[in-house]
Amino acid sequence: MQRELSYTELKNGCSADDFSFCSTAELEPLEGIIGQDRAVKAFDFGLHVKIKGYNIYMSGPSGTGKTTYAKASTERLAATEDVPLDWCYVYNFQNPRSPLALSFPAGEGRKFRDDMNELVQLFQTELQKVFRTEDYEKQKTELLRGFDEKRDALMDQMSKEAAENDFQVKTTNSGIYFMPVVDGKPVGEEEYDDLAEDVKDVIEKNSQIVQEKASAIMRDIRELDKESKWCVDQLDYKVGMFAIGHHVSAVQEKYEQNEKAVAYINAVKEDVLENISQFFEDEEDGEEGLASLLPMLSKKQPEDVTLKYKVNLIVDNSETEGAPVVTTFNPTYYNLVGEVEYDSEFGNLTTDFMKIKSGLFHKANGGYLIVQAQDILSAPQAWEALRRVIKTKEINMDAIREQLGTVVAPTLKPEPIPANIKIIMIGSSYYYELLSTYDEEFDKFFKIRADFDYEMPRSQENMLKIAQFIKGFTMREKTMDFDVSAVCAVVEYSSRAAERQNKLSTRFNHLAEILGEAAAWAKLDGAEMVTAK
């Protein structure tokens, strides 16, 4: 039914009689969000469900306070939850291109890194000390003397076998060779050509006999040299173990509850004992001469032999309280998954496990990540990275450069880290429908939708909450208070923005703009309080 309206019916006014206060100075600031009961219930339910796939999509018009509420509500819950693990990357002695990931209770990752640094320092001092003692030199000399005697005996046997067949043994830097002997004199190549054919035939026949016997003796000498090296290595291992074994055991006992860490420490010990010589200073005279000819070489840093024994602590929760809540407005691929950095040496790209840098997924692991739908859909490969973490529950640092073939460089394949992250995505209904249409697994990844409305009922309770919202604004922005007439004017504006006499707008960023401008005008007028004017 159509009916004619009087002008008084065109506006639902608000008067000071609707409130029991004179100004916002008498009020407490608002806690929570106004007029979004249904969305708040859905959001809170989604926060408390810890099952895979129960991530949250907060939809609704901009300016309704979605991001502010999501951050505040999530932080309240996160403060009551456990602090997540620390994560480190360490050298993989079995496969250097695939660094190992080690986890520790919060705060122990930093201790483990420091303990390993201290242990490596002990390696350097203790090994140099023990291998420079007279006792070690004496043991090594006696060991080698026995092998030298056996080697000399074999060489004497070779000389004797050669002499019996009229040959002489000659030893040079390039090896051993035999010279024929005729009438008690060694024969060179030029003299050999002048010999009679029957003499040459005898020499040739004896040469084959000597070569066969020499081959057997040389084989024995090689085996002896191999055994000599093995015995010296065993001596070095035993002496090195004596020097560092108790230090290693002490660190292993400290982390005995962490099997992977104990295995890694054991691998470090074995690698150190197998490469003891790397801890001794080498003569660099030759390199210095080369550096003087090529000055650029002098800029190259000497190789750090202890690098592979270091610990790259990429997630340190030693000072974290509760579960982490990470909010990002720049969710690029590398910001999310982390990156392996490179150094350039004379045009060549080099990298190692210490150049692995963590991303937002690592920082939010064990907690919550709040992202904007528009931001993540605007960044290349970011949505694919997000859905892969949700789907596999792993943070895998595959380099996108390698996938696209844009960089030819040595690459690392760090061991994936288990992911336990609740994703809170904030965006409009348009992006929700877009993702639902074009990603068939989107509904499986985001089972919770908290849909924020653009309007709420114009009730006495909600009108009072708007007044409390104004109070919160004055405290946050440090402006003067609003009197009751100004609050009434804001309520009327909110109703007009909703285009309904029995509704109020929930787009509080628009209300905040009005509050800010009103406070500025009141200040210009020299007023002590914002009024309806």
Q: CA-to-CA distance for 505 and 65, rounded, in angstroms? A: 12
Q: Report the chain (533 residues): mean pLDDT per 10 consecutive residues.
A: 86 88 90 82 91 91 82 92 95 93 94 93 84 78 78 77 71 67 66 67 73 77 80 77 85 92 92 82 48 48 76 93 94 92 79 91 95 94 93 83 57 91 94 93 93 88 92 92 94 91 88 93 93 92
* pTM of the predicted protein model: 0.76
Closest CA to 410 of 37, 96, 43, 80: 96
The per-residue pLDDT for 408 is 55
The per-residue pLDDT for 300 is 45
The per-residue pLDDT for 400 is 59
Q: CA-to-CA distance for 25 and 3, rounded, in angstroms? A: 44
Q: What share of the chain is helix, strand, coil (3-state, %, to 5)?
A: 55, 15, 30
CA angle at 445 for the pair 442 and 448, rounded to the nearest 5° = 100
For 232, the enclosing helix (H) or strand (E) is helix 197-254
| Those residues with Cβ within 8 angstroms of residue 297's Cβ, 6 or more apart along the chain or in another chain | 287, 290, 291
348-350 and 343-345: which strand pairing? antiparallel
Closest CA to 112 of 264, 321, 338, 274: 264
Output DSSP code: residue 29.
P
**Residue 404, Cβ neighbours under 10 Å: how many?**
10
Q: What's the start-to-end Cα distance of the chain, in Å? A: 38
The single-letter code of the amino acid at 379 is A
The answer to whether 111 and 86 are in contact (CB under 8 A) is no
The answer to whether 24 and 477 are in contact (CB under 8 A) is no
| Helical segments of 255-380, H only | 259-274, 285-293, 333-337, 360-364, 373-378
Q: CA-to-CA distance for 11 and 492, rounded, in angstroms? A: 8
Q: Please give the CATH number for the structural domain made up of 36-84+324-452.
A: 3.40.50.300
The per-residue pLDDT for 190 is 63
The per-residue pLDDT for 453 is 84
Q: CA-to-CA distance for 206 and 164, rounded, in angstroms? A: 9
Q: CA-to-CA distance for 306 and 120, rounded, in angstroms? A: 7
Please state the φ and ψ torsions of residue 448, each to the nearest 5 degrees.
-110, 125
The per-residue pLDDT for 298 is 45
Q: CA-to-CA distance for 359 and 396, rounded, in angstroms? A: 11
The per-residue pLDDT for 410 is 66
Q: In what order do the strands lie in the sheet with 422-427?
A: 325-328, 368-372, 422-427, 56-59, 448-451
Architecture per CATH, domain 1-34+457-533, reads as Orthogonal Bundle (1.10)
